[in-house]
Amino acid sequence: MADETIAATVAETIVEKKPVPKTPARPAAKAETSSPASAKTVARTPSSASKTSAAARPAAKSNSPEIIGKYKIMGLVAKGGMGAVYKGVHPTLKRMVILKKLTIRNNATVRERFKREAQILLDMQSPYIVHLFDYFVEGSSHYIVEEFVDGLSLAQVLEKQVALGTEVSLLVFLDACYALKFAHQRGIVHRDIKPGNILISRRAEVKLADFGIAASDQIEEIAVTKSDKIVAKVAEDVTQSGVTLGTPAYMSPEQIEDSRSVDQRADIFSMGVMLYEMLTGTKPFPSKLSEENLEKIKKGRYINPRQLDHSIPKVICKMIKKMLKANPEKRYQSIDSVIAVVKKYLAEFDTHQIRISLAQIVATKNQFKIPDFEKKSHFAAKISGSVAAALALALLGMYGWKEGAFHATVLSHWYKPVTLNLITPVAGVQNNIYGMDVPVKAYFFYEDEKDLPEVQGTQRDFNPSEGIISRTKTGKRITLLNKTNLKYLSTKPAYFKNGNYRVKVLVGSYLMWRSFKVDGDCVNINFDNLQRVSRPVKLVVRAYDSVTGESLLSGVKYSVMVGGKYVPIENVPESEIKSGKVLKILTEAAGYKPQEYSMIVDWYQDSVFVTARLEKK
């Protein structure tokens, strides 16, 4: 049943929640006013809310289309006024996926936020973050296709377990920290950290989900309206600065007052609240927003977690205290500092055994009794340290052999260095802001042997250099040439015995071969890639209606800027559409607003595809 549960959790921002029956009173461990609770297992009767969760609802396949886009639909997971969530199968990867559907015509804010989530997830390739497979428009509906996580959300785990104990809590917490670190390094602030957005698979993989209200340095902030249905508005005498996005029980004081101005420290506060809840079974602050409760949050008034569970280490309580500081200047300024504390604590334990227990918690239908985890013995730690030292020495020796340290010294009489240089156009027309590069690698082969076997351990990457690098007979490194507006790449020397060899150089999709001979001296080989600066480029253009998603096949005019003015595309000489320049495309259609695109075409690009999204006037 966990399949449907986790899918509904992933998509909760687009599915309107329906009222649930009143639930029986919870035990004290989950009450708003905290009281002592067991650290690891608290007996509890499941609430009626859990009985009516998505896990209890079978996928309504009869109400689902058989195909959406290219995905075969296995069933409907959840449905609301603004969209639906389906479980489907990726046609080529042959794996389960989640399709989040948004159908809304008159609320551009929600639609843009939905699209923005896809834009953010597109670059979030981390094992700790839910993976985005696709984003597409079909008819009037927008779709996000995400990784299917077979398991439970942390919220559902806590609903069953109440509290997770120190070691399991910190393991889940650490993985979530890694996800945040990845996001923060890319200028992304999640702004909705909570147990419902932490997904745990049956294999105990922890993944952060739902970037629907995340803030990004690269993506413009979207205006918020009450119709979004995820906006929490505090009384005007409490906050004057704007709207609040997020889940109140987990939000920092500055996020409650104005979500748009928060930075990564707001996520750190939310993580502190979530860890407190995992350890104690209750939240540090009341969930309901009011002046009185906001004042408690601002003054940091909450029960010390050790009063609820004396087994929680003091160092963890101290860390939580700093994470929950009302003043962001007094909190940890980076999630790295939090990670360091948690890693140091967990280093005393066998995290593999902890992760096995986490998998059992997810897989078990009823409450799971979490075992006591013993710390590693000092003797075992010493043995491990000795093994690690021996392994480090072995790796150091392997690295020295691969990098040529031994060849350049002890074995220099028998092995000679071979250095490769490459002159190539600067990636990025006029040093554009993208700074894109293509991978450049070299592979060496024995030329005198059958089937050209590769010389093991000699693969080399090209790295930027100040000019063409050469080496003297003694191996001394010198620069022979350096001109501006060109890019110079060189390899670290590879070492060879006397003989005949070949080298294969891959520059993106281009391939270059060269034969060379080593005969008792240093070898310097130069490659020239400047002939590809300007080449013909294939240009493909099309347009579609921004509302209906229908392709506009007739009555559309495409123009390319030539000599400072737009020329119909059919009249543009092929010589004007080439790499190494900026192309400007204008799309016009009767009844629609014109759309202009400007793009940089780099030397290594062969085709340009432009799809204009036209809005009616």
Query: Three-state SS string across 130-157, please?
Result: CCEEEEEEECCEEEEEEECCCEEEHHHH
pLDDT tens readout for residues 574-615: 888 887 778 899 999 999 999 998 887 877 777 888 889 899
Phi first, then psi: what are they for 53, rounded to 5°? -70, 170
The whole-number pLDDT of residue 215 equals 58
The whole-number pLDDT of residue 410 equals 67
| Residue 466 pLDDT level (bands cut at 50, 70, 90) | low
pLDDT tens readout for residues 511-527: 889 999 999 888 889 88
CB-based contacts of 450, cutoff 8 Å, min separation 6 = none
pLDDT tens readout for residues 233-276: 322 322 333 444 557 788 888 888 877 778 999 999 999 999 99
> Does residue 469 sit in helix, strand or coil?
strand
| Residue 60 pLDDT level (bands cut at 50, 70, 90) | very low
Rounded CA-CA distance 407/414 in Å is 8
The whole-number pLDDT of residue 516 equals 94
**Mean pLDDT, rounded, for 31-56:** 40
| Residue 43 pLDDT level (bands cut at 50, 70, 90) | very low
Rounded CA-CA distance 145/131 in Å is 9
C-alpha separations of 394 from 183, 391, 397, 399, 539 in Å: 35, 5, 5, 9, 53
Closest C-alpha to 569, from 583, 557, 581, 559: 559
| Residue 170 pLDDT level (bands cut at 50, 70, 90) | very high
Burial zone of 256 (CB within 10 Å; 0-12 exposed, 13-18 middle, 19+ buried): buried
For each of the domains in the chain, give its residue range(s) and CATH number, in order of start. 2-363 (1.10.510.10), 412-532 (2.60.40.10), 538-614 (2.60.40.1120)
| Residue 400 pLDDT level (bands cut at 50, 70, 90) | low
Phi first, then psi: what are they for 558, rounded to 5°? -115, 135
| Residue 436 pLDDT level (bands cut at 50, 70, 90) | very low
Rounded CA-CA distance 509/271 in Å is 44
67-102 burial: b if 16+ Cβ within 10 Å, else e: ebeebebbbbbbbeebbbbbbbebeeeeebbbbbbb
The whole-number pLDDT of residue 403 equals 61
- CA angle at residue 298 from 293 to 300, to 5 degrees? 90
Phi first, then psi: what are they for 132, rounded to 5°? -95, 130
Amino acid (one-letter) located at 178: Y
Can you tell me which residue has the tokens 């008792």?
A: 520
Rounded CA-CA distance 58/552 in Å is 40
In this structure, the number of other CB atoms found within 10 A of the CB of residue 412 comes to 15
The whole-number pLDDT of residue 431 equals 43
**Mean pLDDT, rounded, for 469-476:** 55
Which is higher by pLDDT, 230 or 177?
Answer: 177
**Mean pLDDT, rounded, for 32-61:** 41
| Residue 5 pLDDT level (bands cut at 50, 70, 90) | very low
Burial zone of 486 (CB within 10 Å; 0-12 exposed, 13-18 middle, 19+ buried): middle
Which is higher by pLDDT, 430 or 200?
Answer: 200
Token pair recorded at residue 164: 């997770």
Rounded CA-CA distance 37/35 in Å is 6
Q: Which helix (H) or strand (E) holds 441?
A: strand 440-446
Amino acid (one-letter) located at 366: N
- Average pLDDT over all residues of the chain: 77
Pairing status of strand 416-424 against strand 494-496: antiparallel
In this structure, the number of other CB atoms found within 10 A of the CB of residue 378 comes to 8
The whole-number pLDDT of residue 207 equals 94
pLDDT tens readout for residues 116-137: 777 777 777 889 998 888 888 8
Token pair recorded at residue 527: 């490659």
Rounded CA-CA distance 581/596 in Å is 17
Rounded CA-CA distance 505/527 in Å is 9
β partners of residue 464: 489
Token pair recorded at residue 575: 């010589």
Share of the chain above pLDDT 90, in %: 33
pLDDT tens readout for residues 272-294: 999 999 999 999 987 776 777 77
Rounded CA-CA distance 269/281 in Å is 18
Rounded CA-CA distance 136/154 in Å is 29
Query: Is 69 a residue whose pLDDT tops 80?
Result: yes
